[in-house]
Amino acid sequence: MTDHSLDTFLENTPWSQVQRLKYIERCLLWNREITSNAIAETFAVTRQRAHQDISTYKELAPRNVQPYNAASRAHRASINFAPVLLDNDLEGVFSTQGLVSPHITYMPKLERRVLTGVIPVLLSAIEEGHSIKAVYASKTHPDGIERIMHPVCVVFTLNRAHLRAYCRERQEYRDFLLSRFLAVPSFVTPNLIPDDTDFVENVTLRLIVNPQLNDSEFKMISKEFGIINSKEVQIKRCCLNYFLRENNLPATHEQMEEAQTNPWSYPIIPVYDTEMFYEKS
């Protein structure tokens, strides 16, 4: 199927079926096989519907699927399998629930416990514009202390979930770990609070390959990250420091200096004014 005919097909196919077809291709790519039961259980559709989806996928990419294997009751990927709906699909693997493959090993995460009932209250407060009274633990107050907050949003970073909120005690916007709320918060009448400019403002971050690398190293990193001259990323200012840390990008002046003397510690570096360095506890 040509790119043009594939685009036409996707435009005229229900979104729900496209997701099932992508799932079929993802399983063929990583599991090396697909079964109608897997489709039916994952998407809560009938086995007949799942069979039809597999047939549709075989029409889209006939060279990707071997003839049905009665012994394993599965359609297996061909040796020349080449995705037509997905591109590399690393993000898809990370986000797909229940995708188990002998070819994939997942690194377990150290989960942080969040008290039952905390999240619904926080989300309701955000939606309704309420402030909350919470008992929150910190390094200074490990047993918890009462705080009045005005929630703005929840931020997920790796295995940490934060609440961005205005702290009436500190009179500034801060980030609070959801796992450190010691009791279910209660709603309180909000006072007049300043606008959260760091949440509203988007920062355009320009990323480049570290010029301190030698020519061969520079070309390798450039190809690996797909950065020819530079790459721009837009992110909320309040999330900038999290983005830098999670992507191994220098976030302090000391780290920028290290990137100059030891470029392999930070093969990709941001280009921005020093005033954009943003780090709050």
Summarised one tens digit per residue, pLDDT across range 110-152 is: 889 999 999 999 999 999 999 999 999 999 999 999 999 999 9
Q: What is the CATH number for 27?
A: 1.10.10
Structure tokens at 145: 């202390």
Q: Report residue 102's pLDDT band, with 50, 70 and 90 as the boundaries.
A: confident
Residue among 201, 197, 200, 193 nearest 132 (CA): 193
Q: Based on the domain organization, do 90 and 8 belong to the same domain?
A: yes
Can you tell me the distance from the alpha carbon of 175 to that of 178, in angstroms, rounded to the nearest whole number? 9
Q: Are residues 82 and 10 in the same domain?
A: yes
Q: Which of 150, 170, 196 is the last residue of a domain?
A: 196
Based on the fold, state whether residues 219 and 258 are members of the same structural domain: yes
**Domain assignment present for 205:** yes
Percent of all residues in the chain with a pLDDT value above 70, rounded to a whole number: 90
In this model, does residue 22 exceed pLDDT 50? yes
CA–CA separation, 179 vs 269, rounded Å? Answer: 32
Residue 235, domain member (yes or no): yes
Asked if 181 and 208 sit in the same domain, the reply is no
Q: Which domain holds residue 149?
A: 118-196
Q: How many CB atoms lie within 10 A of CB 153?
A: 16
Contacts of 222 (CB under 8 A, 6+ apart): 209, 228
SS3 19: helix
Residue 107: inside a domain: no
- Asked whether residue 250 falls in the same domain as residue 187, the answer is no
82 part of a folded domain? yes
Q: Are residues 210 and 244 in the same domain?
A: yes
Tell whether 53 is covered by a domain. Answer: yes
Amino acid at site 46 = T
Whether residues 152 and 70 share a domain: the answer is no
Check residue 90 and give its pLDDT: 64
In this prediction the pTM is 0.71
φ/ψ (deg, to 5) at 164: -90, 125
Same domain, 219 and 254: yes
- The helix (H) or strand (E) run that includes residue 68 is none
Final residue belonging to a domain, choices 196, 213, 248: 196
Owner of token pair 């301190």: 212
Taken in order 179, 180, 186, 190, is the CA torsion positive or negative? Answer: negative
- One domain, residues 236 and 264: yes
Residue 281 pLDDT grade (very low, low, confident, very high; cuts 50, 70, 90):
very low
Note whether 2 and 61 are within 8 A (CB).
no
Question: Do 87 and 151 sit in the same domain of this protein?
Answer: no
d(CA 196, CA 172): 9
Do 14 and 83 share a domain, yes or no? yes
pLDDT-wise least confident of 14-18, 118-122, 180-184, 188-192: 188-192
Based on the fold, state whether residues 181 and 253 are members of the same structural domain. Answer: no
| Residue 103, in any domain of the structure | no
CA dist 40 and 47 (Å) reads 6
Has residue 221 been placed in a domain? yes
Average pLDDT of the residues in 164-177: 95
pLDDT band at 268, cuts 50/70/90? very high
Q: Could you give the number of structural domains in the chain?
A: 3
281 domain-assigned: no
CATH of residue 180's domain is 2.30.30
Question: Which of the listed residues 163, 196, 229 is the one where a domain comes to its end?
Answer: 196
Whole-angstrom distance, CA of residue 266 vs CA of residue 94: 24
